[in-house]
Amino acid sequence: MLALWWLLLLNPLLDMLRVSAELALRALPRAGALTRITEEAGGDWAIRMPLPNPLEAAARQMFGSSQGQVKTRFLTLRLPRGLFIRFTMAMPLFWAIVLAAPLGWRTVRAMLEGTALLGVLALVSSALYVAHTLQQQMPLVTSRAGVFLLDFSHYLNTDALPYVAAIVLALWLHADLRSQVFFRRPAGPAQLEDRPPRRGEGNERRGRKGKGKKRGRGAAS
């Protein structure tokens, strides 16, 4: 799955991430047609975006335009491609884990939901990365707690989330995978997919726990 992602899917996924990030940026206040994200010759991303309000004063100081003669409305960030690649790598990991479960409607649904969620997560991760890079250039946040939180979230965003998200999402979205990891496996071959409960299974549990609560057939947790 990683090879498929690296050789075939990486560029389309990065393009999708770039286009959706650009659309999200354009939704920002003061963003216009000049807001865009382009890929440069070396593969790095050039992000042209409206200058956030708290940074206007810092930018004026930086460019020596305290008299108000120069107005800085946009800034361009050049960011290496590597981290954006990392933000898409949770997808092949997620697909690999989900496809290890028996193929069926649950698997297909988990694949679709998980891929969509990971797409959103990649977008959020990109936004955090941009915010952290801005912070390195100009102080977006000044309080110590704010700086720590931004640094810590950047650390989680780049070093933990790309690897952890796939596993947590797969187990969260796929009931059969969850039960294979967290519950004792049945003695025979696993046939959990859409299997109706055996006669007496529910009764056995109700009897053992001493509760009369009725459980619905095939309900996913």
135 in contact with another protein (CB under 8 A): no
Q: CB 165 → another protein: shortest distance, Å?
A: 10
71 in contact with another protein (CB under 8 A): no
Q: CB 119 → another protein: shortest distance, Å?
A: 18
CB atoms within 10 A of CB 5: 18
Report yes or no: 110 and 170 within 8 Å, Cβ to Cβ: yes
Q: CB 214 → another protein: shortest distance, Å?
A: 11
In angstroms, rounded to a whole number, what is the distance separating the alpha carbons of residues 59 and 53? 10
Q: CB 48 → another protein: shortest distance, Å?
A: 28
In angstroms, rounded to a whole number, what is the distance separating the alpha carbons of residues 10 and 17? 10
**Region of 25-33, 35-43, 138-146, 152-160 interacting with another protein (CB under 8 A):** 152-160
Report yes or no: 14 and 84 within 8 Å, Cβ to Cβ: yes
In angstroms, rounded to a whole number, what is the distance separating the alpha carbons of residues 148 and 157? 14
167 in contact with another protein (CB under 8 A): yes
In angstroms, rounded to a whole number, what is the distance separating the alpha carbons of residues 209 and 91? 40
Q: What residue ranges bind another protein (CB under 8 A)?
A: 2, 6, 82, 86, 89, 92-93, 96-97, 148, 151-152, 155-156, 159-160, 163-164, 166-168, 172, 175, 178-186, 192, 197, 201-202, 204-205, 208, 215-216, 218-221
